[in-house]
């Protein structure tokens, strides 16, 4: 048995119990390369989303600190920021 990734193909047009209804097919080298590229792109996009969320949180905290410096109360700031 090999550690090569596989894909599962189910042919719903065939009746239950048919030997070709469910097939486990090894991925080709091209499919493996595409899968790895998609995984790398997904990791990049996840990092970008996390960085954007961190920046949004930092901006919110900065705005809150500036409002406090202007003399707004915690209740007033919460009313503005929600």
The CA-CA-CA angle for residues 20, 23, 28, to 5°, reads: 135
Per-residue pLDDT reduced to its tens digit, 44-62: 999 999 999 999 999 999 9
Position 23 pLDDT exceeds 90: yes
Q: Is pTM beyond 0.95 here?
A: no
Residues in CB range of 74: below 8 A, 6 or more apart: 68
Task: List CB contacts of 9: < 8 A, sequence separation 6 or more.
Answer: 22, 23, 24, 25
- Say how far apart CA 23 and CA 11 lie, in whole Å: 8
Look at 12-21, 38-47, 48-57 and tell me which has the smallest mean pLDDT. 12-21
Q: How far apart are CA 33 and CA 51, in angstroms?
A: 27
């Amino acid at each position: 048995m090999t550690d090569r990734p596989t894909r599962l193909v189910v042919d719903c047009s065939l009746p239950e119990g048919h030997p070709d209804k469910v097939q486990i097919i090894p991925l080709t080298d091209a499919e493996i390369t595409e899968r790895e590229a998609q995984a790398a792109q997904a990791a990049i996009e996840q990092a970008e989303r996390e960085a954007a969320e961190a920046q949004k949180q930092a901006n919110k905290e900065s705005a809150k600190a500036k409002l406090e410096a202007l003399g707004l109360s915690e209740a007033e700031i919460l009313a503005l920021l929600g």
